[in-house]
Homo-oligomer: A and B are copies of this chain.
Amino acid sequence: MEQNKIPQATAKRLPLYYRFLNNLQSQGKTRVSSKELSEAVKVDSATIRRDFSYFGALGKKGYGYNVEYLLGFFRKTLDQDELTEVALIGVGNLGTAFLKYNFMKNNNTKIVMAFDADEEKANTEMGGVPIYSIDDLEEKINGVKVAILTIPASEADGITDRLVRNGIGGILNFTPARITVPDHVRVHHIDLAVELQALVYFLKHYPLVEQ
């Protein structure tokens, strides 16, 4: 798949750059230096230059980067023109928050359907997104490649298997369960409790200077 030499660490920063460049453009700025960008997104300027350089020479020495050009480049690279449909599984506390928000600010991902085991929630809608019964998963989910998991941990393995059998390629897992998937499925864990505990640990055990 084209330039797969790009480090994962870099790939994770791309959406961040993209969003900030959008802000710049709507502020009417036409040029930006790696130093300015650095201050805004809190990433070292050398890292930014290195990140950009994986895609070729996007800037001009002595000048910086042209916002319009850079933005256009990233739009293509991040496939911002192509909408990725997402299914959300579990319309509880977290799921509800995501549905209401629905990542509106980004134009390339959209939650298009949700599922819940609770029959009271099934066949309603929220934030314009239809909520189906989890029993209808196989029937409805055709073609959706990305799922957000916000169900109880105990349900995670079972639902994951069903998702995988139905062609899901990527899962954003908010469950504390560490799910098992075949090699061709990618899982990103976001474990909010762990994040909070890790922050507390760092505060107590790490020297205060550096972040």
Contacts and interface: CB of A to CB of B under 8 A. Distances in A.
Interface string A178-209: 10110111111011111111111111111111
Given A193-B103, A196-B172, A202 B11 contact: yes
Contacts of A180: 42
A97 B95 CA distance: 9
A97 B14 CA distance: 28
Interface string A1-37: 1111010100110111011000000000000000000
A105 interface: yes
Contact of A93 (B86, B100, B176, B190): B100
A98 B74 CA distance: 33
Interface residues of A, number: 70
B40 A178 contact: yes
B186 A202 contact: yes
Interface of A: 1-4, 6, 8, 11-12, 14-16, 18-19, 40-42, 78-79, 84, 86, 93-94, 96-98, 100-101, 103, 105-106, 108-109, 145-146, 148, 169-170, 172, 176, 178, 180-181, 183-188, 190-211
